[in-house]
A and B are shown apart, each in its own frame.
Chain A
């Protein structure tokens, strides 16, 4: 049995959060899902628990378009704190945008594990868990 993953869903759309959580739940990929509607909250959480590996996620599913702090700003800020984290945190961009420019821009952040377009499928979720 693989260790259960801790996953943060960062998206301002509550429906999407709910759907994603249900899907993750169903596939038993994780039993530790945290939902954030603002990237700022995620960043605050990481900074607050920077020395507690158990409180940090293994995977972040990050939406791009959000109020206050959007996905881009989060990527900028996260690239600065990433090196200080006690364990690897994988970031996946999960967006409805199929704009090629967005995909290219995400490519500039080399630590981002993947650019996923909504909706998530079971296959994708299972590949994340591997």
Chain B
């Protein structure tokens, strides 16, 4: 064996290597071997040294080492890990026998320090067991979400039947995770490459409680985190689940009770202000906000009681300090006066507060806080003051109202009077008084009545209220009202007591009033006009004879008019009464009362005392007169219209004669002249022909005129019931040839108004003219059509005739459309008479005709027959 070559090979190896022979002498060794032993065993080896030096340095491995060396020298190749030293270092030692021919001579020992690997492996085992036994769930995924591992706790959380326990499972593909938010959490982890923590409700647990099974939500803190490889890419994804249900439920329940408390505080009917220990307002409830919004005690971050001038003005700062320092509750009433801004103005407001302030220790941060309960007792206070006033007023009333008290003791027959009673009787106060003596002040008539009443009261307990005449001690005569009532004790009458009131003034006034009312009644009864007074609700307080006659219904005074006559509710009368009340101004109107078939004129006048005066007058006669007058007026106006129409017709005729008769006559005159001026027989013959032409012309014009005149004159031409479809058929028969030649299509709809009362000749003529017009003025580029339709409009028949003919420029010719001998087309047949006659026939019967048209777009004639 070439030792030199071997030495070089050995030296080249990175691990410590030594070659020894059968005598355990080192044949060759590399510097790594030397270094290793030097460092850990403080032995410096060199070639030729015995390996036994190793055993000297570490005697506890001697036996083992000798055994291994012998095995290797016997030709076995093996590797083992040996702990060495204290604390032990682990070495992996490989023995390789080196053969030289058949004899084993050398062994190569390669030593590798595997301490780190050993430790790592042990650590891994350790951590695995730690992780496995962690009380929190731990689960490992590939970056794609494939499940790799989980610990016991996680298995428990997921449950044995979770798919991750039974085959491949991808956390991203599980829909459940999307709902819980786990998917989103892991996505975030992947995106951020860092840990993400969230609370999740992952499942529910059933809690069996005797016979009740409750479902409880289980909350978890879920932490996801990535494990990155050396390149910084995600190698694994982990999630840690720790159950926080109890904590969560505790938080929820705390929130709930906090909310509840907040709601209670918020809705307390008393104002609630909570200050922190620096005097800052931390909470104000709605009552406080509502009632005291304008006091400046607002829930503002910088609203401090100690600094707030308003709070200081009412010494709230002092109260606060007192409560805080003494730790005691304070309750007091306070009066605040301040100005409220509203609608741009200022109102002085006076508020009484029942203020309770007490300290509370904040249960969490142990701070002292102060709570103020504020009750608005302004109304209560106001009532108290009112009561005091009322009481005072009552005391004064005796004085002003001249009311005095009295009582008769039934056992002693003693009479006691109040101070005012003495005053009324004009006696000095405390004069001794008996029942009998008191009676002596009354006139005889009054005395009798009082005695009877008192007897009745004593015997039957009957209370009394009498008007009596009193002669005072100073001999003044007074009108008094005496009221008495019995009082019982143990079922026995013990006294009669009551008041006496001097009503002389009122009596006088009432007398006066009664007299006035009588006068008024006399006055109102004599006037020829109904007069009544009623209050705003309709109760009749006064009604005179005339009005009584008008209503003609027993006794109405003192009753509500709307109850006596229910039909009046919602009537014109009712509405006007309300109007009068509302406007507080007189209202007049006339109204027809069907019950009496009469018209009445009403004047309602509001009175100062809130009542309404009603004056009413029968105006039936004048109303009837009015109606007749109106009728006469209408007749006059219709006559006028007729005359105007007649005038217009006269004008029409003047025009017609001027234009249409003068023209041919002028021709005749001219012809006569030229005929006279000529001698030529041939010429004369020509003129004679022209004469005939002109005369024929005149004849036609005259015939047309006669026809028209006949129509205009014949106002009483007989009407008969005509069926549109029948009359149209008649006309179609007459115009058969024209209809066929033109190919006009007739569309009819007489369904709504199938017939009309009308002169037959007229209707035939109208229909014939409409149809002739539609044919004559048809458009050449389309199949002509005419639509005839009858309808009922405002009780009369309306006939429309709509063609698709050449139409007419209404702006240009509209005014002449229905004129006599007016034509607008260069049509040889156009004579300009048809529509004139049609118009005459319609107007003669009180109807009207007009047209709607546009050139090229057809014409629509609208005929309104007057209803008869």
Contacts and interface: CB of A to CB of B under 8 A. Distances in A.
A15 B665 CA distance: 12
Nearest to A122: B673
A19 B690 contact: yes
A66 to B, nearest CB: 9
Main secondary structure of the interface of B (DSSP, over half): helix
B662 interface: yes
Contacts of B821: 65
Contacts of B824: 67-68
Nearest to A41: B826
A23 B669 CA distance: 12
Contacts of A18: 690
Contact of A98 (B658, B664, B823): B658
B669 A119 contact: yes
A121 interface: yes
A93 to B, nearest CB: 14
Contacts of B667: 13, 15-16, 19, 118-119
Report which residue of B671, B825, B830 has the largest number of chain A beta carbons within 10 angstroms of its beta carbon. B671
B694 interface: yes
B670 A118 contact: yes
A117 to B, nearest CB: 8
Contacts, number: 69
B821 to A, nearest CB: 8
Nearest to A25: B674
Contacts of B677: 26, 122
Contacts of B830: 67
A15 B662 contact: no
Contacts of B333: none
Interface string B715-737: 00000000000000000000000
Given A26-B677, A119-B673, A67 B825 contact: yes
A118 B673 CA distance: 13
B826 A67 contact: yes
The bracket for how many chain A residues form the interface is 20 to 34
A99 B655 contact: yes
A121 B667 CA distance: 11
A33 interface: no
A97 interface: yes
A118 B655 CA distance: 16
B694 A68 contact: no
B662 A19 contact: no
B674 A22 contact: yes
B693 A19 contact: no
Given A67-B830, A96-B663, A119 B670 contact: yes
A99 B658 contact: yes
B66 to A, nearest CB: 147
Contact of A16 (B663, B674, B812, B825): B663
B77 interface: no
A47 to B, nearest CB: 19
B650 interface: no
A38 B822 CA distance: 14
Nearest to A73: B812
B697 interface: yes
Interface in B661-705: 662-667, 669-671, 673-674, 677, 690, 693-694, 697
Interface in A86-130: 96-99, 117-122
B662 A96 contact: yes
B659 interface: yes
B690 A65 contact: no
A123 to B, nearest CB: 11
B826 A68 contact: yes
A102 to B, nearest CB: 9
Contacts of A15: 664, 667, 690, 693-694, 697
Nearest to A98: B658
Contacts of A67: 822-826, 830, 832
B558 to A, nearest CB: 78
Interface string A65-91: 101100001000000000000000000
Interface string A8-20: 0000010110111
Nearest to B678: A26
B662 A118 contact: yes
Interface in A29-75: 38, 65, 67-68, 73
Nearest to A13: B663
Nearest to B671: A19
Given A15-B693, A18-B690, A67-B825, A118 B663 contact: yes
B139 to A, nearest CB: 102
Nearest to A23: B674
Nearest to A121: B673
A88 to B, nearest CB: 27
A118 B660 CA distance: 12
Contacts of A38: 826
Contacts of A20: 670
Report which residue of A18, A19, A120 has the largest number of chain B beta carbons within 10 angstroms of its beta carbon. A19
Interface of A: 13, 15-16, 18-20, 22-23, 26, 38, 65, 67-68, 73, 96-99, 117-122
Across the A-B interface, the 6 shortest Cβ-Cβ residue pairs: A118-B666, A119-B670, A96-B663, A67-B823, A96-B662, A119-B666
Interface of B: 654-655, 658-659, 662-667, 669-671, 673-674, 677, 690, 693-694, 697, 812, 821-826, 830, 832
Given A15-B693, A19-B671, A119-B666, 17 more contacts: A13-B663, A15-B697, A19-B667, A19-B670, A22-B674, A23-B673, A23-B674, A67-B832, A68-B824, A68-B826, A97-B658, A97-B662, A98-B658, A118-B666, A118-B670, A119-B673, A122-B677
5 contacts: A16-B663, A19-B690, A22-B674, A67-B824, A96-B658
